[in-house]
Structure 1
């Protein structure tokens, strides 16, 4: 068997067909929906591919039309979908949601994913060599909630071993997905085993009862080489450990790996904080995945920690200014220019719908 090509990032997880309402209102009242795609890991994969990285998405979908759509739509972003399995006995997951923002009291989501093809992912049903053939392996806590065999798969992939890629893990705590009360414990154990962890300040409190801000979360998660704590509209703080820190491995011609970008800098117990941008928000869906894609893209490029956070904020801003889960990120030159602004200019930046489009001239900088 030929060894799989080494790519920049492998993202493993479930994607679903998303039905977005054509008008506001209760699901009971909406007469029609537009079809889209949604899934935390595939969102990250599409964002990274759109930013020019070589990315592979590994999952399982049903042998049905919705599975065809997912594979074709994600592949159209430039993502390698050759390792997506097709399951003739299980369906592709789908979900419906209302047009309102997820944080709103009237927001509704109806999931139809129980027993989906992706919930049958396991060490026996996915191509492990293809999963491990990346400089970075991106995972999420959502996968761990799908089934016991999915949890066993993530445990295997986050374990130590020769040739293990840098493991990126987005906690993504979703209370409603867990059939039992052990979700927070499982998520914490997986986060302990990862190299780079993304977690929201709010979900750390909800899942683990951690209060006291980013430093308190770092006390609970001292093992990851890089810990990124997202603080909602305020910004994000990143902690880095110099002890044993490493960058993602870089591919060689024969598919072996060698050391890649250098760590982002010396350890700082206080962390590095970068404020969020002022954004004219259309919808928040997918913003967290976009932030992870921007941060990972900058990590692959070996940028300083501050710039990694800024690229996360910029890519999140692209998602915040569209109604769906996915959008085209800003061009690399455009994002680099904005990420390089001085602190005052960064603080007065305002982004609205259309700001990433070529030739668009939004009012990026507002008068303080």
Structure 2
């Protein structure tokens, strides 16, 4: 597998497609008792676009939002972090919202996204003509779980991206609350195996498919050109074609909050891959980006 070279056109390097919501996090206790809260954007594909932009790559976030103040907050934040926006606004459907309920041991998350503007994305949302010259198109397993039309959109996106000459990147990102175990296991395996680059956590792979090791994940997804299996604080293993697997251990970090680390890993890995790095160096770049987020609170990497 080879990443298309930068074209002479003005196309972005990467387009990330998926929903971003407003995350509401209490700052003085749990949801039941707090009187103050912080509002920030949250969404896997938007997070990856932010990370790529921070690495100096021209990155686009493509989605749909409501025609409301929450949409303005999301677009302002992402644009302020250097992300280009390909956004449709829907006057008849809202921007999604999620709430975080901080706990002593862990935090709970509550989603209010059913019927959101993003869930109305349909097949052909991004045409091959719109994607001409783009080097990577990235999405996640969250997007096809939002609605049948979003699943149709992702299937068509894979085909249209390849027609445009782009590499397809897919992060499994299983969200249990969005669909059944059976639907998730079947659909996510099909999409990950069809991707040019796929990311999956060893733990989520075991939950989805019963695959306990990185080698077993590879056996379950034999057709993906470049499969990256992340194993938390142990490290990450990359499988490319018939080459020997490449493993890079994760650095030791003091974890403040794990939210957003997977998206950061993907952004670091993809940024290094766009730069033509060796596979081991791309894995190291993914670990470094994830570590930066692990040591802070919030989904997005901190602004310098």
SS of residue matched to 2:170: strand
Aligned to 1:292: 266
Check the 8 A contact 2:262/2:290 in 1, yes or no.
Answer: yes
Question: Structure 1 residues 12, 133: CA separation in 2 closer, same or farther (over 3 Å shift)?
Answer: farther
The 3-state SS of whatever aligns with 1:326 is coil
> Could you state the TM-score of these two structures normalised by the residue count of structure 1?
0.76
Matches for 1:275-314 after TM superposition, within 5 Å: 275-314=249-288
Which sections of structure 2, spanning at least 5 residues, go unmatched? 1-8
Indicate yes or no: 2:48 matched with 1:74: no
Q: Is the 8 A contact 1:47 1:328 kept in 2?
A: no
> 1:77 Cα deviation (Å)?
1.1
Rg larger in 1 or in 2? 1
Looking at structure 1, the residues matched to 179 and 145 of structure 2 have their Cα atoms a distance apart, in angstroms, of 5
Runs of 4+ more than 6 Å apart: none
1:13-32 map, 5 Å: 13-23=18-28, 25-32=29-36
Q: Distance in 2 between matches of 1:238 and 1:12?
A: 24
Deviates further, 35-44 or 151-160: 151-160
Aligned length: 295
1:253 aligned residue: none
Matched residue, 2:88 = 85
Aligned to 1:363: none
The 1:202/1:179 distance shift into structure 2, 3 A limit, reads: closer
Unaligned runs of 5+ in 1: 243-266, 330-356, 358-368
Task: Work out whether residues 265 and 287 of structure 2, in 8 Å CA contact, stay in contact via their aligned partners in 1.
Answer: yes
Whole-Å Cα distance in 1 between the matches of residues 163 and 145 of structure 2?
27
Please state how far the C-alpha of 1:159 moved relative to its aligned partner: 2.8
What is the distance in 2 between the residues matched to 1:50 and 1:31? Answer: 33
- Structure 1 SS opposite 2:111: strand
RMSD: 1.8
Counterpart-to-counterpart distance in 1, 2:46 and 2:79: 10
Q: Tell me whether 1:324 sits opposite 2:298 in the alignment.
A: yes
Q: Distance in 1 between matches of 2:103 and 2:247?
A: 30
Indicate if the aligned counterparts of 1:62 and 1:116 stay in contact, CA closer than 8 A. Answer: yes
Does the 8 Å contact 1:237/1:274 carry over to 2? yes
User: After the TM superposition, which residues 336-355 of structure 1 pair with which residues of structure 2 at under 5 Å, given as runs?
Assistant: none
Within a 5 Å distance, the mapping from 1:114-263 to structure 2 comes to 114-126=114-126, 129-131=129-131, 133-159=133-159, 161-178=162-179, 181-211=182-212, 213-241=213-241
Is 1:43 equivalent to 2:34 in the alignment?
Answer: no
TM-score, reference length from structure 2 = 0.92
Paired with 1:19 and 1:194, the residues of 2 have a C-alpha distance of: 33
